[in-house]
């Protein structure tokens, strides 16, 4: 089979790789869509990378024993290799599992762990089946494009009475706009990149603020009768934007972070949490029970298709990485068989 690799900074291409084979309750999935995510960062900085990616959708082609899927099933491939047995896994919060499989230790090699490939392996319980009327490319949006923000909004109870601030309109933030609009909220977006601001507007953002403007807090107050937004979601991972979410949210508001950062966010217990009464949370992926709801967003949203800006053959992975690194894009879908 073919697998895409980063050879070194700025150079990617395909290699021939051995076919992985399933064991126990794992399935072999023929990958038909690979949404690109943060891998471009490694493409820019190097060093090379042999196995990469965590987002895929495709068709089950082989199982080792009767399990939760069968050959022919069209599935979304959930990220990671969680144990499936701990309390978190059983509850559907597998992304937080602390006992994940050692992939190579279990299967005998790392082959089958990459989504930038024609085939991969996955425990069958992490392969939710795609409804017949949803294409594989659209189904693949039920990973980082729509997943983290859907989980955040579900936790925060976002609805049509809310004004929601979304900081950062990369692929995750753009997906957040789709979800917030689907839930009926008024959406304020903070984004400086003009390509992404334009796409944010196309997806339904009501107001777009430029992070370089020093008067953004006043603008938010003006838009919310002096109160602040009801809920805020940071998709940027930028410290200033994370702090802006805390300042822009109203008293008793809720802030959720999905943009990753290792920088320390200054939060004061008394003014921010006790006196202002705000709730803080983080969202990484989503509880497995939310999969049918995310499928409904994909089935019913009138704008969700605009989350995919490029669809490219995996044989053009070099060009795809260059587009991804340019940030002139929403979600890019690689087609491993083209």
CB of 97 to Zn ion, least distance (A): 3
Taking only Cα atoms into account, the Rg of the chain, rounded to an integer number of angstroms, comes to 20
Reply yes or no: is the peptide bond before residue 47 cis, omega within 30 of 0: yes
CB of 54 to Zn ion, least distance (A): 5
- Number of Cβ within 10 Å of residue 97's Cβ equals 18
Which residues in this chain contact Zn ion in the complex, by CB under 5 A?
Answer: 37, 55, 82-83, 86, 89, 97, 99, 144
- For Zn ion, the closer CB: 55 or 162: 55
Cβ(290)–Cβ(284) under 8 Å? Answer: no
- For Zn ion, the closer CB: 36 or 249: 36
CB of 88 to Zn ion, least distance (A): 5
CB of 309 to Zn ion, least distance (A): 16
CA 250 – CA 85 distance, rounded (Å)? 40
- For Zn ion, the closer CB: 125 or 244: 125
CB of 83 to Zn ion, least distance (A): 4
Which helix (H) or strand (E) is 77 found in, with range? strand 74-77
Tell the residue number behind the tokens 């937004």, with chain if given. 229
- For Zn ion, the closer CB: 223 or 332: 332
- For Zn ion, the closer CB: 186 or 285: 285
CB of 82 to Zn ion, least distance (A): 4
Q: What is the DSSP string of 177-192?
A: HHHHHHTT-EEEEE--
**Side-chain half-sphere exposure of 100, counting CA atoms within 13 A:** 14
- For Zn ion, the closer CB: 99 or 281: 99
Give the alpha-carbon dihedral of 237, 321, 130, 171, to 10 degrees: 30
Cβ(307)–Cβ(203) under 8 Å? Answer: yes
3-state secondary structure of 321: helix
Which helix (H) or strand (E) is 45 found in, with range? helix 39-45
- For Zn ion, the closer CB: 89 or 249: 89
CB of 96 to Zn ion, least distance (A): 8
State how beta strands 26-35 and 119-123 pair.
antiparallel
């Amino acid at each position: 089979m073919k697998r895409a690799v980063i050879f070194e900074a700025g150079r990617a291409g395909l290699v021939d790789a051995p076919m992985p084979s399933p064991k126990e309750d794992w399935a072999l999935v023929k990958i038909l869509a690979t949404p690109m995510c943060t891998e471009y960062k490694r493409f820019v900085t190097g060093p090379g990378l042999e196995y990469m990616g965590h987002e895929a959708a495709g068709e089950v082609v082989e199982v080792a024993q009767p399990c939760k899927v069968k050959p022919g099933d069209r599935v979304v491939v959930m990220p990671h290799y969680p144990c499936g047995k701990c309390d978190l896994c059983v509850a559907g919060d597998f992304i937080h599992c602390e006992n994940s499989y050692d992939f190579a230790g279990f299967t005998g090699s790392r082959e089958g762990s990459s989504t930038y490939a024609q085939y991969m392996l996955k425990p069958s319980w992490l392969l939710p089946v795609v409804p017949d009327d949803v294409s594989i490319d659209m189904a693949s949006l039920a990973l980082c494009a729509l997943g983290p923000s859907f989980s955040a909004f579900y936790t925060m109870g976002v609805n049509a009475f809310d004004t929601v601030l979304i900081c950062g309109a990369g692929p995750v933030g753009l997906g957040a706009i789709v979800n917030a609009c689907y839930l009926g909220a008024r959406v304020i977006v903070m984004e400086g990149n003009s390509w992404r601001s334009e796409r944010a507007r196309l997806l339904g953002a009501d107001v777009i603020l430029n992070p370089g403007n020093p008067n953004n807090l006043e603008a938010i107050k003006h838009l919310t009768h002096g109160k602040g937004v009801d809920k805020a979601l940071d998709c940027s991972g930028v410290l200033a934007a994370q702090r802006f979410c805390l300042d822009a949210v109203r008293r008793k508001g809720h802030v959720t972070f999905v943009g990753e950062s290792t920088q320390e966010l200054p939060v004061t217990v008394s003014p921010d949490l006790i006196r202002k009464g705000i709730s803080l949370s983080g969202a990484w992926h989503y509880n497995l029970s939310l999969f049918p709801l995310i499928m409904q967003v994909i089935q019913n949203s009138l704008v969700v298709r605009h989350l995919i800006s490029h669809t490219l053959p995996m044989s053009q992975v070099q060009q795809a990485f260059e587009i991804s690194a340019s940030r002139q894009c929403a979600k890019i879908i690689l087609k491993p068989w083209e």
